Structure 1
Amino acid sequence: MFRIALFICLLSSPVMAANILVIESYHAGFGWDAGYRQGLNESLASDHQLTFFEMDTKRIPSREYEQRAELAHQAYLELKPDLVVIGDDNALSYMLPKLYQEPIPIVFLGINSNPRELLTKYSGKAGVTGILERPFYTKTMAGVGEVLDSPKTNPKVLVMFDSGNTSKIAVRTIENQTALIKQNLSIDTQVQTFSTESEWRDAVLNAKRNEVSAIVVGLFQTLVDSNGESVPSEALLDWTSKNSEVPLFGFWDFSIGKGKAAGGVILDGRSQGIQAGNIAREILEKGLDASTFPIQAGHQGMEIYSAEEFKRWGLTPPNGWEAVDW
């Protein structure tokens, strides 16, 4: 039995308030979604009504994605929204084929893939634009290199991802840059993807033995345990922090803080939500065609670190990195 997780923000609003359906690839408890939900609410909820549908693809098997997409489409048909916001790659790839012939503006966010091919294939009545998501790999690695200040030639950094669709896209982008990172920053990057919790744990426990100087934590929310069940992501990150013998860094805000990764140049879900929300507001209030808005890259990354984690590892933060207290 599939649950439809619909959360409706019923707010006092002006007469011309619009109904906006937000279709999330993931779920509200995932840090990235929580961040962009906040951004969307900040930019839109004072004047418009937001309804959220969770596809939950971080926690359900891929064979169930299409069923969740059907439920999301049913939610669309029942709500008859004035605009749709689509969060992340899974929702866009499953929902655009269902919505492209609808006379509806669509604003996406958090897209790691190049959406051009999908938009060309499903070009119809819907006007589509949005915000791309690109991990700040080079900037993060430059900071890691400064932090390590290793006398070794080409210190090895292990970059760890799960094997979900978003991770596969991000990993391809990162692998295309590893040669330049080695040439320009003298860092030897090893990028690995994992399907199971046990594989992830083995890599963490053996990192120092394998002469890894630091670990960069990517995405880890689709890992499964020995029974094929989804592994609680916060518990896994806590275990990784406690058991790693080398310092941890990260690409996303939800992975950094006390008891987590020590720092990084991060993607911020809230800023993506605000960007997408501002575009949606302009489309709604000016009656504009969404397809006339250029697809945008996300704002520049935030350079942050946890003072407690840096102290724990005996590290000095890079110039310009800002301490966070979460």
Structure 2
Amino acid sequence: MKIWKLSAVLFMGLLLTSIGYGAPQEASKKKRIAVVSSYHREYLWTQETNEGLCEALLTFGYFDNKEQITAYTKNDTVETSKIILKKLWLDSKRKKSKKEKARMTRQVSKEIRTFRPDLIFLGDDNAARYVGSEFLDAATPIVFWGINNTPVKYGIVHSIDRPGHNVTGVYQTGYYIESLNLLKAVVPGVKTFAILADGSTSGRSHKKKVEYLARAKRLPLRLVETVSTDDFDDWKQKALELQTKVDAFFLAQYSGLKDRTGAYVSAEDVANWYVRNIKIPEAAVQGQFVKQGMLCSADDSGYNQGYEAVVIAHDILTKGAKPATYPPRTPKRGALMVNRHRAKSLGITLTEKMGIERYVE
């Protein structure tokens, strides 16, 4: 009888343990999340996407407090009550050669495998293109943000409606028409424009989309010419020449420009030269350029990109959503932004009727 009672007690102990009593439950295990940025810490777009990512992680309870956001942003890693978060940098704005990109892809991929994440965030085109291909169809779900125009081009999803792999996320459709409509509202007399772009992945993508819209006659201004180069001196010369031939510019991207020595010129230095020397108005592809001094943009918000990526990741981590059947999407448009100082320097009087939603001082 005593042996029977002892066996019953042991059996009940094993049963309780198996259903979670007396032992940690698997559900309480901290999730390990890797975040890969295509760019570098100082890049304004990266800072904006990080703000959205962190705010969403706080909203959904992955961060316990704002102090953890500060620690993560500063140190690239933080451990909270729910997650262990680690950030890695591809630095592809400054390491642009094929050899450098390959080296950084190997380095970042090795760190990811060592970290063994439960989910991977990939920020922007180069992280999705290079690192994403390293983990395509792995067991680890991947959520991207900031891919220009369509993620289908990199082969990491089959289609927008049905991704088909372990990858989904948030992409940028670009508010090109809206940006030029805003420019037209702020400066009604403009009729023609030229594109200024660098030769980066983002620059080429934005350039091609604006050219496509121009051919389809969907833009409120007529496209006269396109500049696409990595040479800063060439870029400056063509901008100076074109400002006498067109009414306005569309700034597609300028963070990939190089000086005569082959060194990259910071976006801030490019913007400072531009606003000192160019005397016609411009629209830009993103709000970050308005913050750097450009006149206006219908912002393709980096904050919204980062935030929406966490919304998708939350569905995957807590609701069992599968990337293969979770269609990628675009977030809502950011604000219609205008830089007051630039408007003043161009002699533009701003009014409420222009539909401006946010002013940058």
Aligned to 1:119: 156
Of residues 303, 310, 318 in structure 2, which corresponds to 1:270?
303
Cα distance in 2 for partners of 1:96, 1:53 equals 13
Residue 212 of structure 1: SS of its match in structure 2? coil
Gaps of 5+ in 1: 1-13
Partner of 1:303: 336
Q: Which deviates the most, 262-271 or 312-321?
A: 312-321
Task: Report the more deviating stretch, 260-269 or 279-288.
Answer: 279-288
Q: CA deviation at 1:163?
A: 0.3
CA change 1:164–1:260 in 2 (3 A) is: same
1:256 is aligned to 2:290: yes
Q: Which amino acid in 1 is paired with 2:54?
A: N
Deviates more, 1:241-250 or 1:228-237: 241-250
TM-score (norm 2): 0.78
The residue that corresponds to 2:132 in the other structure is 96
Q: Distance in 2 between matches of 1:147 and 1:234?
A: 24
The structure 1 residue matched to 2:146, chosen from 95, 98, 110, is 110
1:201 Cα deviation (Å)?
Answer: 1.1
Deviation, 1:165, is 1.5
Partner SS for 1:29:
coil
The 10-residue stretch of structure 1 (24-33 or 45-54) with the greater mean CA deviation from structure 2 = 45-54
Between Structure 1 and Structure 2, the one with more helix by share is 2
Q: Write the letter of the residue equivalent to 1:73.
A: S
Shift of 1:159: 1.7
1:74 corresponds to which residue? 110
Aligned equivalent of 2:17: none
Find the aligned partners of 2:94 and 2:136 in 1 and give their Cα distance. Answer: 27
Residue 193 of structure 2: SS of its match in structure 1? strand
SS in 1 for 2:253: coil
Displacement after TM superposition at 1:140 (Å): 1.1
Q: 1:82 Cα shift?
A: 0.8
Determine the structure 2 residue equivalent to 1:188: 223
Alignment of structure 1 residues 1-326 onto 2, 5 Å: 15-44=28-57, 45-46=62-63, 47-63=82-98, 64-116=100-152, 118-119=155-156, 127-150=166-189, 155-181=191-217, 185-209=220-244, 211-257=245-291, 260-317=293-350, 319-326=354-361
Q: How many Å separate the matches in 2 of 1:20 and 1:184? A: 41
Deviation at 1:253, TM superposition (A): 1.6
Distance 1:124 1:273 in 2: 20
Aligned length: 307
Bigger-Rg structure (1/2): 2
Instruction: Tell me the amino acid that sits aligned with residue 198 of structure 1.
Output: D
Residues 180/321 of structure 1: CA separation in 2 closer, same or farther (3 Å cut): farther
Partners of 1:244 and 1:233 in 2: how far apart?
16
| Whole-angstrom CA distance in 1 between matches of 2:266 and 2:203 | 17
The alignment partner of 2:247 has SS state of strand
Report deviation, 1:200. Answer: 1.4
Displacement after TM superposition at 1:161 (Å): 0.9
Kindly provide the CA deviation profile for residues 130-174 of structure 1, in whole angstroms up to 9, marking residues without a partner as x: 111122111111122232222x7xx22122110012221222211
* Superimposed CA distance per residue, residues 218-245 of structure 1 (whole angstroms, 9 cap, x where no aligned partner): 2111111111111111111111111112
* TM-score, with length taken from structure 1: 0.86
Aligned equivalent of 1:3: none
CA distance, structure 2, for counterparts of residue 114 and residue 236 of structure 1: 28
AA aligned to 1:104 is T
Bigger mean CA offset, 109-118 vs 225-234: 109-118
Q: Secondary structure, in 3 states, of the residue corresponding to 1:81?
A: coil
Matches of 1:194 and 1:39, distance apart in 2: 31
Q: Is the 8 A contact 2:196 2:249 kept in 1?
A: yes
SS of the aligned residue for 1:176 comes to: helix
Q: Distance in 1 between matches of 2:311 and 2:30?
A: 15
CA-CA distance at 1:203 after TM superposition: 2.1
Which residue number corresponds to residue 5 of structure 1?
Answer: none
Supply the distance in 2 between the matched residues of 1:62 and 1:168 (Cα, whole angstroms): 16
| SS of corresponding position for 1:224 | coil
Shift of 1:205: 2.0
Matched residue of 1:32: which SS? helix
Indicate how the Cα distance of structure 1 residues 160 and 186 shifts in structure 2: closer, same or farther if over 3 A, else same: closer
With 283-292 and 196-205 compared, the bigger mean Cα shift is at: 283-292
Q: Aligned partners of 2:45, 2:94: CA distance in 1, in Å?
A: 14
